[in-house]
Each structure stands twice: as C-alpha cells, then as structure tokens.
Amino acid sequence: MLGGEAEINRRAVEETQKRFPSLQIVGARDGYFERSDEAEVIAEITRLKPDVLWISLGAPLEQEFVTRNLDALRGVGVVKTSGGLFDFLALAKRRAPLWVQRAGFEWLFRMALEPRRLFMRYLVTSPHAVLVMLRAMR
C-alpha cells in the first residue's frame, strides 16, 4: 500500500487488516517521498513482489508515477491507482450512504463535501470520461 500521509497509511493498513484478517499486506509506505527517492521505493516494491500494488498518491501524481515506473514494476501482479482510497480505508473521510453509492452518485456526494477541491476536476474529467466510454461502445 503506497501513498497517503504516514498516519493515514498506517491506519488504512490497520483497518484493512481488521476487515480482511487473512489478507497479507507485505509492505506499506506513505506517499511523501522525493522523486530522487523513487528508485529506492521501486526497489523495495519489486523486492516484496506484491500481488497487488495499491497506489494512493492522488491524481495525477499516481498516474505519472506508474507511467514512469511501469517497466520496473514487472514483478508486481497488478498495479492499481486508487486516488483517495486510503483516506476512506483509514476512516478519515466519510463515504456516501449506501443508496447513493448504489445509484452511482458517490462522486456528487464527495463534490458536495469538498466543492473547492473537486468541482473543477469533475467538470473537466467527467465529460471526457463519458466521451471515451461512448467512443469505446461504438
């Protein structure tokens, strides 16, 4: 589990282990490291060879990290970027009510909680995502 502040990362690991006691989390590291330390971070990940590498550095940092390092991560089973997932796992941020999640409007709930941070992101990315999906459906 790579990302988040040190305390968020620690609590995310702890809460994940509580919910899934048989899950083996082979490594955890906060996301606050310099780009000059990236090779060391990658070396540790490849040494551990996780089946799933969860990266929670936030957009676009996590996508850029994966793009730069994907070739070096070949020993990893799956690389999954996850945005703010660790905040939710650590119980630091609220999830939408289940009925809102099931209706597909958790993004709207999150935007209502953090409009300054998320409004422009959703304004730009949501129409693009819809366009990509429509093109793929052709």
Percent of the chain with pLDDT over 70: 100
Q: What is the pTM assigned to this prediction? A: 0.78
Percent of the chain with pLDDT over 90: 68
Confidence of residue 74 (pLDDT cuts 50, 70, 90): confident
State the average pLDDT over residues 108-116: 87
Cα angle 102, 107, 112 (rounded to 5 degrees) comes to: 115
Confidence of residue 114 (pLDDT cuts 50, 70, 90): confident
Distance between start and end Cα atoms, the chain: 36
- Smallest CA-to-CA distance from 84 within 111, 102, 48, 46 is with 111
87-99 pLDDT tens trace: 999 999 999 999 9
